Amino acid sequence: MKPGQYFTRIIGIIFTVIGVMGFIAAFKTAPATTPHVAGLSFTTGYGDLLGLFPVNVLHNIVHLIVGVLGMVASVSLSSARLYSGMLAIFYGLLTLMGLFPPTQATLGLIPIFGNDIWLHGITAAIAIYFGFIATPDLLELSSGESHSLSQK
């Protein structure tokens, strides 16, 4: 398994766990921002996950989808790279949207403000590396082994 596949599998597991945690009341606290102030019209399950990250039911579902897709995409290097690239674009856009009040509630459906902004930004930055920058060399692709300069 290549580093990009490990990243995809690990991020898949993390997002799946986060998605499940969002449905468990013990992991959420009362939200720091009221739904009205946040611009949310969909408030089912609204609260702060681990007291830090605003979530609601739709947000949890997005986390579950991202997580399951990550675990599935980790089976091959090409699908892991595609997933990482799409994750970078998706979370990069969410980071930008979270910075501006008119788009922080994604049409009143999903909260993406507060601590979500930096978390989305870090996720996008790491995914950029595995989706667009890190590429296996031709020897690694053909033999399935990792070759570095020290091994040659």
**pLDDT class of 77 with cuts at 50, 70, 90:** very high
In a domain, 143, yes or no: no
In a domain, 151, yes or no: no
150 has pLDDT over 50? no
CA angle 77, 151, 139 (to 5 degrees): 35
In a domain, 110, yes or no: yes
Q: What is the DSSP letter of 22?
A: T
In a domain, 127, yes or no: yes
pLDDT tens sequence across 100-137: 999 999 999 999 999 999 999 999 999 999 999 987 76
In a domain, 150, yes or no: no
- List residues bridging with 29 in a β-sheet: 48
In a domain, 149, yes or no: no
Domain of residue 21, residue span = 3-135
Q: Could you give the CA distance from residue 70 to residue 74 in angstroms, rounded to a whole number? A: 6
The winner for highest mean pLDDT among 85-89, 132-136, 138-142 is 85-89
User: Which residues have C-beta within 8 Å of that of residue 127, sequence separation ≥ 6?
Assistant: 7, 11, 84, 85, 87, 88, 91
Q: Could you give the CA distance from residue 20 to residue 33 in angstroms, rounded to a whole number? A: 22
pLDDT tens sequence across 23-73: 999 999 999 999 999 999 999 999 999 999 999 999 999 999 999 999 999
pLDDT of residue 137: 62
For the chain, what is the domain count?
A: 1
The dihedral of CA 44, 48, 88, 63: what is its sign?
negative
User: Inter-axis angle of helices 115-128 and 3-21, to 10 degrees?
Assistant: 160
pLDDT of residue 145: 53
